[in-house]
Amino acid sequence: MEDNSNTKPHLMVVCALFEKDGKILIALRPKKALGGGYYELPGGKVEKGETLEEGLAREMGEELGVITDVGEKLWSDTIEYDDSYCHVNLFRCKIIFGDPQPLAADEIVWVKPEDLYRYRLLLGVKLALTTIYPEETKLIRMSELKPESISPTRSI
């Protein structure tokens, strides 16, 4: 494989893990978006000059319409895609004001970790959640993700 690590953009991404009543919040990416039709943890790209926590708090306002307390970092990894590197950082978060609304997603849903295998999840989400909830997510098979629009070159 050709080494083009210097030419691919490096994206800094933050995600929120919201937990409520034994469930976590996931969001369905819009069909026309990259990775459309797959579920993700709410989040987005960090803008220049923002800390990871500031970017995540901003994204939660934009994507869900909530004010969020960003807590501890739970997980991070870098995933190589054909066209970019995605540095993913997952934080435990609490909603301190508002009710989540799907402002940037086709839908949002609260799901028990043991039921996540029923959803088409993005690779980074699978990696993070199977690390954080190893027993509850054992039905998730890492090889399930083979979307046409994004093709990870990192082997799992």
Structural tokens at position 133: 């909830």
Quick check: is 35 in a domain?
Answer: yes
Which tens digits make up the pLDDT trace of 93-109? 999 999 999 999 999 99
CATH number where 57 lies: 3.90.79.10
Which tens digits make up the pLDDT trace of 53-75? 999 999 999 999 999 999 999 99
- pLDDT in the model for residue 145: 44
Quick check: is 58 in a domain?
Answer: yes
Split at pLDDT 50, 70, 90, the class of 44 is very high
Q: How many domains does the chain have?
A: 1
Residue 87's nearest CA partner among 6, 12, 155, 142 is 12
**Could you tell me the residue range of the domain that residue 20 belongs to?**
10-144
Quick check: is 87 in a domain?
Answer: yes
Which tens digits make up the pLDDT trace of 138-156? 887 554 544 433 434 333 3
- pLDDT in the model for residue 141: 57
Quick check: is 3 in a domain?
Answer: no
Quick check: is 150 in a domain?
Answer: no
Quick check: is 153 in a domain?
Answer: no
Alpha carbon distance 100, 67 (integer Å): 9
Quick check: is 105 in a domain?
Answer: yes
Sign of the Cα torsion 41, 44, 45, 46 reads negative
Average pLDDT, the chain: 87
Quick check: is 5 in a domain?
Answer: no
Mean pLDDT of 18-36: 93
Alpha carbon distance 26, 153 (integer Å): 24
